[in-house]
């Protein structure tokens, strides 16, 4: 077939249309990133509605040989273009990638089944369309299918006494790279250092995190931190419980609202001390059925990371005390 034949012209037209769609999506993402309009990049409209719309446009107008394949290809290009624009939102983009691909493939497949058949499939559309509208409405006007409040829990038994754990908790820790693959693979903000000491009510902590990169010409990286204050404290010879309240947070404010943390330690019957951390937060991303479990998993890994961090500090104190006693 020569380039001038109708088939070739149709193929060129389809490619031009796909290029226009990708360009439009790129401009839209850039606009959302720069303006932050309505916090739409935190709603289900962004993570479900956008790929669904993309799939609809590709299937109805591009008419490729494989609608699902070309829709996924266009989404891949769009994600590659969007990554540098989203900055800190790249974290959510990485986490949301399975959702984006799943919605795109499902909607494209469904539309091919409906539009590619001579049968009357309008009843299917009447069923699926309201469901899609419901799913994309999460986050608009505060609507959410699942509760926003969440907890992250993690702990371990450390071969040190309760007094060593209490001493470690009373001082700023030394942060290492997280061992959890999820925390290392996704570019979350990571703690660098902390200041503040004490376990009495009113004592504070200032935790510094890695800087945030800003999408502005000649813009300097923005520092991130979290301020905490001891709200409750009960300690005794066999353990204790301390509750921290988050008073300021510029580290995780784009992903979740951190409310506070609770740490409990108690002498273990099998030896050593059981140390448990609990993080209280509010989910700010939709859809809830996807980001709810993902954020809960991330919070669990973060709580376990804190337990490991202070357990290592307690072990160091116990070893130092033993070495001094042997002199």
**pLDDT (0 to 100) of residue 108:** 76
**pLDDT (0 to 100) of residue 4:** 46
Angstrom distance (rounded) from CA 43 to CA 287: 7
CB 244 within 8 A of CB 201: no
Residue 215 tokens, joined: 């999408």
Residue 198's region, left for phi above 0, alpha for psi from -120 to 50, else beta, is left
pLDDT tens digit sequence for 86-140: 555 556 677 778 887 888 787 777 777 766 555 555 555 556 666 666 667 776 7
Across 161-221, where does the E strand assignment appear?
Answer: 191-195, 204-212
**pLDDT (0 to 100) of residue 127:** 61
**pLDDT (0 to 100) of residue 22:** 62
Range 149-325 classified under CATH 3.30.540.10: no
CB 258 within 8 A of CB 225: no
Contacts of 71 (CB under 8 A, 6+ apart): 54, 55, 58, 59, 104, 105, 108
Please spell the DSSP secondary structure of 255-300, one letter per residue.
TEEEEEEEEEEEE-TTSSEEEEEEEEEEE--S-HHHHHHHHHHHHH
Angstrom distance (rounded) from CA 32 to CA 85: 9
Ranges of each domain in the chain: 6-142, 149-325
Lowest mean pLDDT among 15-19, 67-71, 108-112, 154-158: 15-19
- Mean pLDDT of the region 159-163: 94
Angle at 99 between CA 306 and CA 16, to 5 degrees: 135
**pLDDT (0 to 100) of residue 195:** 96
- Percent of the chain residues past pLDDT 90, beyond the cut: 37
Q: pLDDT at residue 15 above 50?
A: yes
pLDDT tens digit sequence for 27-78: 666 566 556 555 555 555 555 556 556 656 655 555 556 667 777 777 776 6
């Amino acid at each position: 077939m020569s380039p001038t034949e109708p088939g070739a012209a149709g193929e060129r037209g389809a490619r031009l249309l796909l290029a226009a769609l990708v360009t439009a999506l790129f401009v839209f993402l850039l606009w959302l990133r720069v303006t932050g309009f309505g916090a739409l990049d935190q709603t289900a409209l962004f993570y479900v509605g956008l790929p669904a719309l993309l799939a609809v446009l590709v299937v109805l107008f591009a008419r490729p040989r494989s609608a699902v394949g070309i829709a996924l290809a266009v989404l891949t290009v769009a994600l590659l273009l969007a990554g540098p624009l989203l900055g800190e939102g790249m974290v959510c983009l990485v986490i949301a990638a399975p959702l984006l691909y799943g919605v795109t493939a499902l909607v494209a497949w469904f539309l091919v089944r409906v539009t590619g058949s001579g049968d009357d499939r309008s009843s299917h559309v009447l069923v699926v369309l309201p469901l899609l509208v419901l799913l994309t409405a999460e986050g608009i006007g505060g609507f959410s299918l699942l509760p926003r409040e969440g907890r992250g829990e993690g702990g371990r038994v450390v071969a040190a006494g309760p007094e060593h754990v209490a001493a470690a908790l009373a001082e700023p820790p030394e942060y290492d790279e997280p061992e959890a693959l999820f925390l290392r693979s996704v570019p979350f903000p990571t703690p660098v250092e902390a200041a503040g000491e004490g376990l009495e009510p009113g004592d504070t902590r200032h935790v510094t995190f890695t800087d945030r990169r800003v999408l502005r010409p000649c813009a300097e990286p923005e520092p991130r931190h979290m301020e905490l204050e001891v709200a409750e404290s009960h300690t005794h010879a066999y353990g204790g419980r301390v509750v921290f309240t988050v008073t300021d947070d510029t580290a995780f404010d784009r992903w979740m609202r951190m409310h506070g943390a609770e740490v409990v330690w108690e002498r273990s019957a099998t030896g050593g001390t059981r140390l448990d951390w609990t993080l209280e937060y509010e989910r700010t991303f939709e859809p809830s059925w996807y980001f709810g479990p993902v954020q809960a998993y991330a919070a669990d890994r973060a709580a376990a990371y804190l337990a490991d961090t202070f357990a290592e500090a307690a072990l160091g104190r116990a070893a130092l005390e033993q070495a001094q006693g042997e002199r």
